[in-house]
Amino acid sequence: MTDSSAARVRRHSAVRSSRLGEQTMIFPSTAGTRRDPDNFRARWHEVRQDLGVPDATSHSFRKTVATLIDDEGLSARIGADHLGHSRISMTQDKYMARGRVHTAVADLLDRTINDE
């Protein structure tokens, strides 16, 4: 989570948080209680419709973050840590792109063939 996102959650939590036993809720219902799963599903459906991504799932957002990490050239270890994978291979197998053109490999081969 970015520093700005974490700060936003902390501010939101300070304003909206309520206690239920020992668990602090970041996004309680408007009554300050746990959200009903059916109500959450209905609201989540509305939000996806409003955003124009009706078929998006929580996994879609997870995949987007993994793709951004990969596209930025960050390591699989960083991706695995962020996604909570204990094995880097899980991140590489499930989230990192396959079949990309890697010009660095072509450059290496050209230098090798041309004795540079």
Helix (H) or strand (E) holding 82: helix 76-83
The predicted structure's pLDDT at residue 80 = 94
Residue 62's nearest CA partner among 84, 77, 41 is 84
Residue 47's nearest CA partner among 59, 55, 35 is 55
Percent of the chain whose predicted confidence (pLDDT) is above 90 = 27
* pLDDT mean over 10-23: 54
Q: What is the pTM of this model?
A: 0.53
| Residue 80 · residue 91 · CB < 8 Å | yes
Q: How far apart are CA 103 and CA 58, in angstroms?
A: 33
Quick: pLDDT tens for 27-71: 777 787 888 888 888 888 888 899 899 998 888 888 888 989 998
Quick: pLDDT tens for 65-108: 898 999 898 999 999 999 999 999 999 988 887 777 778 888 89
